[in-house]
Every structure is written in C-alpha cells, then in structure tokens.
C-alpha cells in the first residue's frame, strides 16, 4: 500500500502493472519490486484484503492490447498468446528511431509501438492509447499532445539531452513525468564538436566537395591552425567540458563561460572561467554548449557578434535557437565571423535555400551530434530503463519535471507517505459545505535536523489525499504543487523538533484545515479552531492518533467511523452489535476521552462500508452525539 501511494506520487504507472520484468541490471532491481508494482494498481481499483492483492479490471486502463499502426516503420504485432500475456502491460509509443537494445528492454515490460514520422495529428490520435512516449529532438510534444492523451500518458522519455521540444509546463499540469537520457550522447556530441572545429579550420567539407566536382584547388583551401589559439567554450557542462578536454589535447588555450559551472572543475581541467563578454573578446574559436532557455535564446546576436574578435570562428552543436541566425549571416558577410560550423538550427530541417546553410563560409551537418552507433545504443538503453522504471513506479533519477528524491529516502519514508495521503484523505472528508479547503497546515514532529528530512513526498501525498477525493484530478509528485496552486490551496509546513530518536524519521504528522466547518464537530481542535488530525507510524503501519482534541489509536488500513458519545459502559458492545448485524467487520476500535463519563470519541476501523441504515442506527444510540463515516 505504501508503494501504491509512492508510485502515484512519482507520477508513474497508476493503473499499470508490468508483470514480465527483465532480470538483468537496473531492470532486475525492478523485478525485485514486483510486489510493490502490483500494489501500484490499488489506486486504480485494486481489491486488497488480508494482505492479498489482486489486480482487477479498471475499465480500459487495465486491459491493453497493442493498437499497432500498420503504417509503422517497425511493428511487432503480438500473437494471441502474447496478447494474452500482454493484457496488463503498459503501451509505449516510440515515435523516433531508437536503438535495438532499448526496444528489446522495453519489450520485456511493455507493448512497444514503433511508429516513426507521425504527423502531429497522428500523434494526437494515437496518444490516448499510450502510457509512455519516447521521442528524440524531432517530435514536438506540445500541450495539444498532452491534452489529447486524456490523462493516460504518464511518462515522456526524451532519448537525448535537450528537452526543448517537450512542453514541460503542459506535462507538469497533467502530472506526466518527463525523463531524459542525459549522459549517453555526451562524448558523441563532444566528438562532433571537435570534428566540426577541425573540419572548419581546414576547409575539409569545401575541399572535398570541390574535388568531387573535378577540381584540384590547393591554394584556395588553405586553412588555419588550432595550436596556441584560444577556444571559448560557452556552457561548461557535460559536453562543454569534454570538448574542453579534447581541445587542450590539440594544444589550444581553453577558456569557458558558464554562470553555474564550478570553478574547481574548470581548474582541474586547466580551463579559465570568464565572463560572457571576456569570452567573446578573447576567443579565436567559440564553441556553443549551453541549453536553449529563455535566457540563452538568441544570446548570439548583432550585439554579441559586435564584441567578438574580427575573424572569430563559431561552432554550434547545442541548439540553433541560441544564435540569431540572420545576425550570424550579417556577421559572416561583414567578416566579423570568418567561418561557422553548425549542427543545429532554429528550424529543423531549415527551409530550402536558407541563407546560413548556403553561405560559402559555413559548413553544416543535419543535427548529427548524438548520431554515433555507440551513443544511440547507449541513449536507447538509458531512456528505456528510465521509462520502464517510471512505469514500474520508481522515482526517476533523470526526471526533468519532478523533484529528485533519493531511493533510500523513498524507502525510509514509505509508511509515512501512506500516512500523509490518508490524513489528507480523511481530513478533507471532515469538511462540511461552503467555502472549500484553502488553508492547510502540516506539522512534522521529528528529532531529525531540517536538512535530514525531505518532506516533498509527504506534502505531495497530503495534497493528493486532500484533492483527489473531492475532484477528478490525478495528483502525483509531478503536479501536486501545481494543482494545489491552481485550486488556491495553500499548504504551509512547520517542523517541530523533538528529543526522540533520530533513527525514526517522524514522530507525528498533523494536518489542520483552517477556516472551515466540520461535519464532525469534535474534529475541530479546541486549541486552534481548525479540523485537526494527527497520525503516526507504528511498526510500519500508519495510525490515526488524534482527532481534534481527542487522542485515538486506530490503524489507517480500512475505512473508519468516528463517533462522539457520552462515555458510559456498554457503548462498545452496542456499536459492535449494530455493525455485526449487517456483517460489517470491525478491524480496530479505540476510545479517546478527556475524563471518565464525559465526552469520548470512538474510532472504529471497518472492513466493509456500512449501509446508510446501519449508520443511522448508530446515530440513534442515545449516548451517541455525532458520527461520521470516512472512506480510505
């Protein structure tokens, strides 16, 4: 159950249980989590009794057989037996060519539909049948695509680094996790940068073309040397630092500009970090390796070219959009930029007759930076593992739009995550009428230092618990804060230090909802005037420990009835016999009172939902002052 909540928090496969898992590498780790994965489907209607969980059909979500497109470039149509086996597998749409090793890995856990070159219209038509989508840089995953998925799409995998072709905001809004493959093509991109640098300096492309045209122009294609020249690496991240390392090997002086780079890492590579302007004024060669962001959009423009050394040479294997392309044409024509070597373009492919592509001092490649056999196999495996992991309920290490929560934190917090969701779920059911829930305060009592307790998962799950029972929203770690904000729900968190053992992450979690009325008045605390529920974890099981001002002790595994009564002998028997008459099994019962024979709150865990008539009979017991049934 814990993992069900966490999987949902991770934005992963709610309603998706992948049964056949591979046994090797990271996939084998997932195999060990089979039980957890099965529990993932609980939110989608899993029946759970006595610790035995069974997958039940939840409409179209649980039964999926490949809806394969006969026009697909690669289609694996399952045989009848395979289809049967595949019944509970998620569907992954691979929309751009992916290495075979990645496809094989995915096929072990999913129905894989490889449909390349889909138009936006075709992608939108297909996407509502898919749990995951894998793309490279050629597919625009727009808001329209997320809307067309109608909530089914849970993961977008970008088989590469740049995620500028994915609308992250739209993904986050619908709770779709976006993961990328940030490392496997680093060396390929760096090598391509160096290829372009050397090819440009020695006019390799032009000389080759001229010779193939029957010419022998030894004087025309005299190049420039690299040794002792200054190379400015703009963006000293993974690719940039690999380019720097290689350029040092060519005898170049390497400087770098990167507002976020570590000076120590630069020093270790013998690279001097400089300002943007200094990089421009000192460089003989400029190699671009920053992401395309609102800040870097057209950062190379008339003004910046104007600051460059006359005759500078530019290499771009990052993103076309970081260069104002008409400004580069002007700088080339003016001789400010002597040459440019470009792998990436603002619009890909560029329009026919594009002035930059056709400029005589420009060499071009069609976005080939990541295109080596080795990189593509690596990227395919990296993204397949990330997508399969996300579908299996793991929090991904390469998530782009969700906070990273280390695996050990997830394991340790598992029962608290369940507790958090259930407290939220119970608290919202206690609200009556009117204004709605706007202000929620969560108090964590813990002996841990602030930086030793990551509460993001807990907050997301409280949000899930608060919102899901009263709306059609699907909440997970990806979109919890966004959805809360959209709904005007303000969740504040407070840490209260205790003297307890630091081995225990949390002693209690308290959820309070202020400025609302309650359908169970005793849930309003005398202390703060707000609906107040406190919970704790005992032996790995979440418990409700306080309702309003009353202490209770009831495990949060089943639905509960809260009942305020005048404390007197025989109450437990009366309640028990009314529930027993309707065959409602009581799993747990506790009575909290402030003093004998005064008001008391009875919390009763029930395996079945009592009928209205039965609840009414409880209410008719003379000593019962109020009661409420809360569903978990």
Ligand X SMILES: O=C(O)[C@H](O)COP(=O)(O)O
Ligand Y SMILES: NC(=O)c1ccc[n+]([C@@H]2O[C@H](COP(=O)([O-])OP(=O)(O)OC[C@H]3O[C@@H](n4cnc5c(N)ncnc54)[C@H](O)[C@@H]3O)[C@@H](O)[C@H]2O)c1
| Residue 92 within binding range of ligand X, rule CB under 6 A | no
* Cα–Cα distance for residue pair 353/348, rounded to 1 Å: 13
How many chain residues interact with ligand Y (CB under 6 A)? 32
If phi > 0 it is left, if psi is from -120 to 50 it is alpha, else beta; for residue 436 that is left
Tell which one of 159, 312, 386, 475 touches ligand X (CB under 6 A). Answer: 159
| Residue 367 within binding range of ligand Y, rule CB under 6 A | yes
- Which pairing describes strands 624-630 and 559-566: parallel, antiparallel, or unpaired? antiparallel
CA distances from 176 to 222, 259, 477 (A): 53, 30, 10
Closest C-alpha among 105, 112, 15 to residue 60: 15
- Comparing CB distances to ligand X, the nearer of 371 and 555 is 371
* Cα–Cα distance for residue pair 13/388, rounded to 1 Å: 10
| Residue 294 within binding range of ligand Y, rule CB under 6 A | no
- The DSSP H or E segment spanning 562 is strand 559-566
Closest C-alpha among 617, 628, 439 to residue 547: 628
Min separation Cβ 403 and ligand Y, Å: 18
* Cα–Cα distance for residue pair 280/149, rounded to 1 Å: 45
What residues between 440 and 499 interact with ligand X by CB under 6 A? Answer: none
* Catalytic residue selected from 121, 348, 494, 582: 348
| Residue 283 within binding range of ligand Y, rule CB under 6 A | no
| Residue 399 within binding range of ligand X, rule CB under 6 A | no
Strand, coil or helix: 167? coil
| Residue 258 within binding range of ligand Y, rule CB under 6 A | yes
| Residue 15 within binding range of ligand X, rule CB under 6 A | no
Tell which one of 17, 46, 68, 161 touches ligand Y (CB under 6 A). Answer: 161
- The DSSP H or E segment spanning 533 is strand 531-538
* Catalytic residue selected from 282, 367, 425, 448: 367
Q: Is the peptide bond between 349 and the residue preceding it cis, with omega within 30 degrees of 0?
A: yes
* Cα–Cα distance for residue pair 305/277, rounded to 1 Å: 10
Closest C-alpha among 61, 7, 11, 8 to residue 34: 7
Min separation Cβ 235 and ligand Y, Å: 3
| Residue 3 within binding range of ligand Y, rule CB under 6 A | no
- Comparing CB distances to ligand Y, the nearer of 158 and 425 is 158
User: Which pairs with CB-CB distance under 8 Å and at least 24 residues apart come from 589-595?
Assistant: 589/554, 590/552, 590/553, 590/554, 591/552, 591/567, 592/546, 592/547, 592/550, 592/551, 592/552, 592/553, 593/550, 593/567, 594/549, 594/550
Query: What's the helix, strand, coil split of the chain in %, to 5?
Result: 35, 25, 40
What residues between 175 and 194 interact with ligand X by CB under 6 A? Answer: 185
| Residue 369 within binding range of ligand Y, rule CB under 6 A | yes
| Residue 550 within binding range of ligand Y, rule CB under 6 A | no
**Residue 348 catalytic?**
yes
* Cα–Cα distance for residue pair 542/554, rounded to 1 Å: 9
159 binds, among ligand Y, ligand X, none (CB under 5 to 8 A by kind): ligand X
Residue with tokens 């814990």: 2
Min separation Cβ 186 and ligand X, Å: 9
Tell me the window of 31-39, 123-131, 234-242, 328-336 that interacts with ligand Y (CB under 6 A).
234-242
Tell which one of 55, 136, 425, 456 touches ligand X (CB under 6 A). Answer: 136
| Residue 295 within binding range of ligand Y, rule CB under 6 A | yes
Q: Going along 61-161, which residue ranges are E strands?
A: 74-75, 91-94, 111-114, 132-135, 155-158
Tell which one of 234, 252, 342, 390 touches ligand Y (CB under 6 A). Answer: 234
Tell me the window of 57-65, 233-241, 324-332, 443-451 that interacts with ligand Y (CB under 6 A).
233-241
How many chain residues interact with ligand X (CB under 6 A)? 12
**Residue 367 catalytic?**
yes
Tokens of 296: 């870097």
Q: At CA 470, angle to CA 511 and CA 559, rounded to 5?
A: 65
| Residue 137 within binding range of ligand X, rule CB under 6 A | yes
Q: x/- contact string, 364-393, with ligand X (CB under 6 A)?
A: ---x-xxx----------------------
| Residue 162 within binding range of ligand X, rule CB under 6 A | yes
Min separation Cβ 371 and ligand Y, Å: 7
**Residue 494 catalytic?**
no
Tell me which residues are annotated as active site: 319, 348, 367
Binding site for ligand X (CB under 6 A): 136-138, 159-162, 185, 367, 369-371
Residues that bind ligand Y (CB under 6 A): 161-162, 182, 185-186, 189, 234-240, 257-261, 289-292, 295-296, 317-319, 343-344, 367, 369-370
């Amino acid at each position: 159950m814990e993992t069900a909540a966490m999987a949902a928090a991770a934005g992963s496969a709610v309603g998706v249980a992948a049964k056949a898992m591979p046994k090797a590498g990271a996939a084998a780790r997932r195999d060990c989590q089979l039980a957890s994965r099965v529990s993932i489907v609980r939110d989608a209607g899993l029946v759970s009794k006595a610790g035995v969980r069974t997958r039940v059909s939840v409409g179209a979500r649980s039964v999926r057989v490949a809806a394969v497109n006969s026009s697909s470039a690669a289609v694996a149509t399952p045989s009848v037996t395979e289809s049967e086996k595949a019944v509970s597998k998620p569907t992954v749409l691979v929309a751009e060519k992916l290495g075979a090793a990645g496809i094989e890995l995915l096929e072990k856990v999913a129905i894989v539909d490889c449909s390349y070159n889909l138009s936006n219209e075709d992608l939108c038509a297909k996407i509502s049948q898919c749990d995951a989508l894998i793309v490279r840089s050629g597919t625009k995953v727009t808001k329209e695509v997320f809307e067309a998925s109608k909530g089914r799409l849970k993961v977008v995998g970008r088989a590469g680094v740049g995620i500028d072709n994915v609308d992250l905001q739209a993904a986050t809004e619908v709770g779709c996790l976006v993961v990328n493959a940030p490392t496997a093509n680093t060396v390929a991109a760096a090598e391509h940068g160096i290829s372009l640098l050397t090819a440009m300096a020695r006019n390799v492309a032009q000389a080759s073309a001229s010779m193939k045209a029957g010419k022998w122009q030894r004087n025309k294609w005299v190049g420039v040397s690299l040794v002792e020249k200054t190379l400015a690496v703009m963006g000293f991240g993974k690719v940039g630092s690999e380019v720097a390392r290689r350029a040092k090997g060519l005898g170049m002086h390497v400087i770098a500009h990167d507002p976020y780079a570590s000076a120590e890492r630069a020093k270790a590579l013998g690279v001097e970090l400089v300002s943007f302007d200094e990089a421009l004024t000192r460089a003989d060669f400029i190699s671009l390796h920053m992401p395309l962001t609102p800040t870097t959009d057209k950062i190379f423009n008339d003004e910046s070219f104007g600051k460059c050394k006359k005759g500078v040479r530019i290499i771009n294997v990052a993103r076309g959009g970081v260069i104002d392309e008409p400004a580069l044409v002007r700088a080339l024509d003016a001789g400010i930029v002597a040459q440019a070597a470009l792998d990436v373009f603002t619009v890909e492919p560029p329009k026919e007759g594009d002035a930059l592509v056709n400029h005589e001092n420009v060499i071009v490649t069609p976005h080939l930076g990541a295109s080596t056999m080795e990189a593509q196999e690596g990227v395919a495996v990296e993204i397949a593992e990330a997508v399969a992991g996300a579908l299996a309920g793991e929090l991904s290490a390469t998530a782009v739009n969700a906070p990273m929560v280390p695996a050990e934190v997830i394991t340790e917090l598992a029962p608290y995550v369940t507790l958090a969701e259930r407290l939220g779920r119970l608290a919202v059911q206690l609200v009556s009428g009117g204004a709605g829930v706007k202000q929620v305060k969560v108090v964590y009592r813990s002996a841990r230092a602030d930086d030793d307790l990551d509460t993001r998962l807990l907050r997301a799950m409280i949000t899930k618990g608060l919102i899901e029972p009263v709306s059609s929203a699907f909440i997970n770690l990806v979109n919890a804060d966004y959805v809360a904000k959209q709904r005007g729900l303000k969740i504040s968190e407070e840490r209260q230090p205790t003297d307890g053992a630091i081995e225990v992450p949390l002693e209690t979690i308290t959820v309070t909802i202020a400025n609302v009325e309650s359908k169970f008045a005793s849930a309003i605390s005398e202390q703060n005037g707000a609906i107040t529920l406190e919970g704790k974890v005992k032996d790995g099981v979440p418990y409700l420990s306080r309702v309003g001002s009353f202490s209770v002790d009831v495990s949060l595994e089943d639905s509960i009835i809260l009942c305020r009564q005048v404390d007197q002998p025989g109450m437990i028997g009366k309640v028990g016999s009314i529930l027993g008459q309707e065959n409602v099994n009581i799993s747990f019962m506790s009575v909290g009172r402030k003093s004998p024979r005064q008001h008391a709150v009875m919390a009763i865990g029930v395996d079945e939902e009592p009928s209205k008539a039965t609840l009414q009979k409880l209410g008719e017991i003379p000593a019962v002052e109020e009661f409420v049934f809360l569903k978990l």
